[in-house]
Chain A
């Protein structure tokens, strides 16, 4: 590690993994409630558990992005972080806010929580993914602004690379579109219209910039390919992402009371949206093929390749599958949507955060890479989680196709609840897939504790991309 202040990333990554575990536990609870309807009722109703599941996802991904930014920006800027202290204070503020919010969800009825936290002053709650109390929303804003201030100052005072510029644009965009979480017009159509400015313009807009920057950073480190080449790819990818993704928002404006022309705009631009994800895959594989060094961190390289392929499948293929308006007319808000939501989030954002953690954590623990033994465990985790998530996606897709067939097509459609009973077998298998995913996640956590033969970071240039002072090495005591 080049700069001492990069260490602030460590608590962020640890918190990210911790909250990830919480997310999956609640995923298993709602997965069980899908088939055993009264499971944990009335203690934890489905809506509460679902809210914990999705909000923890968003929060831990934010922890991951922030940790990544604090780690990467000093190294790219070639100077210490502007204020490591602020970064640590921000960490605790964010962790406490997140924990209190989850406790609030679980401890009191949602309506009580809303009343307690000033939702009547500025109603923002009760909308999907934006369920957080007003104070939590403000907290998230402050935490992100603190990050932006810190990393922007660092960049301004240091070297400016394409990677930091793109990462910063992504993070500033994240903060900007978050502002729409505070806008909740009484007119439901307008409410929905601007709700997507947070959700869609995040995952199919500014977050793609963050993803491209993190991927490029790790690829430079593990392949040693020239920056000029990588930068050009990065700009092409994010150009394609925003050119297709901004008007691609139209695929959410088909059936919410907005004018019919969105069906054309949404369909056409959605058809372009898989392209940036495809180019990202080409990019990663071509960089790894042209590598100039064999980095000992094999598993970080695997995550980097894996995230591009899985994001292409989940976002590109599964996203496009239901994007054309005549198809979306039938699939809108069905299990097909859930299938896509899972593989896209996992492939693009979960995996890219795990990529940067996989690369940076060993270095922060004073090694070039984890031991081959630990990497083997992490490789198992990679495959267990990825394969089970693909299986979950295929099962939900099958459930979705059948749901559409029974409930939305034909002259004698079945009711929603009767249809759900017919889909039970898919939901049972999905729950089983979730169990395998959870095992994969446990294997992942264990991999951090597996000892073995590690290469400590040395200053003799054996690992050129991670120049580090001898003093850091001296403090490492393995076994």
Chain B
């Protein structure tokens, strides 16, 4: 790297020029994505229930064990499509039956949610399962 033509100041200019250019390009793409999102996120279905459901999802740290659209922890099943895999009734009964207490088996806590909170949570999971995620996950098992 002792090339007399490729100096430190040229390297520095590439750094500043390149970073600024690509960050601006990233902002342009972000703008474009933001414009296109309503088609894939179905935000017209973002009801009060769904919003409350997301809050319940967050404040019980569900993502600490599960993944949602492939992000989160990998200790327990993917829940982005659980509404399609199991359906509303199963999800509610499941939540109420926890923990199983089966010896040696991975345990899920009891969150003591009210019926209304369960409705909200299911609404959130239903809305999430309807996001157009480019065909992911590969199959119903998540």
Q: How far is the CA of A238 from the CA of B34 in the complex (A)?
A: 29
Q: Judge whether B75 and A239 touch: CB under 8 Å.
A: no
The residue of chain A having its C-beta at the shortest distance from the C-beta of B7 within the complex is: A232
Q: Judge whether B11 and A232 touch: CB under 8 Å.
A: yes
Q: Looking at chain B, what size class is its interface with the partner chain?
A: 35 or more
Per-residue B-contact encoding for A251-294, CB less than 8 Å = 1, 0 else: 00111111110110100000000000000000000100000000
Least CB distance, B83 to chain A, in whole angstroms:
13
Residue from A186, A257, A413 in contact with B37 in the complex, judged by beta carbons closer than 8 Å: A257
Q: Judge whether B136 and A255 touch: CB under 8 Å.
A: yes
Main secondary structure of the interface of A (DSSP, over half): helix
B94 in the interface, Cβ–Cβ < 8 Å?
Answer: no
B41 in the interface, Cβ–Cβ < 8 Å?
Answer: yes
Q: Judge whether A127 and B58 touch: CB under 8 Å.
A: yes
Q: How far is the CA of A28 from the CA of B44 in the complex (A)?
A: 44
Stretch binding the partner chain, chosen from A46-54, A152-160, A381-389: A46-54
Contacts of B101 in A (CB 8 A): 38
Known contacts A41-B99, A256-B71; is A242 also within 8 Å of B19 by CB? Answer: yes
A470 in the interface, Cβ–Cβ < 8 Å?
Answer: no
Most chain A CB atoms below 10 A, which of B26, B102, B103: B26
Q: Judge whether B70 and A229 touch: CB under 8 Å.
A: no
Contacts of A372 in B (CB 8 A): none
A432 in the interface, Cβ–Cβ < 8 Å?
Answer: no
The residue of chain B having its C-beta at the shortest distance from the C-beta of A193 within the complex is: B33
Known contacts A47-B61, A131-B61, A186-B51; is A257 also within 8 Å of B40 by CB? Answer: yes
A119 in the interface, Cβ–Cβ < 8 Å?
Answer: yes
Q: How far is the CA of A122 from the CA of B2 in the complex (A)?
A: 53
Contacts of A408 in B (CB 8 A): 137-139, 141
Chain B residues close to A by CB (< 8 Å): 1-2, 6-8, 11-12, 14-15, 18-19, 22-23, 25-26, 29-30, 32-34, 36-37, 40-41, 43, 46, 50-51, 54-55, 57-65, 67-78, 99, 101-109, 111, 127-128, 131-142
Chain A residues close to B by CB (< 8 Å): 30, 33-34, 36-38, 41-42, 45-48, 50-51, 110-111, 114-115, 119, 123, 125-128, 131, 162, 184, 186-190, 192-193, 228-229, 231-233, 235-236, 238-239, 242-243, 246-247, 249, 253-260, 262-263, 265, 286, 329-330, 332-335, 337-338, 407-409, 413-417, 420
**Those 10 A-B pairs whose CB atoms lie nearest each other, nearest first:** A47-B64, A126-B58, A333-B70, A37-B106, A255-B136, A235-B11, A239-B15, A416-B77, A332-B70, A242-B19
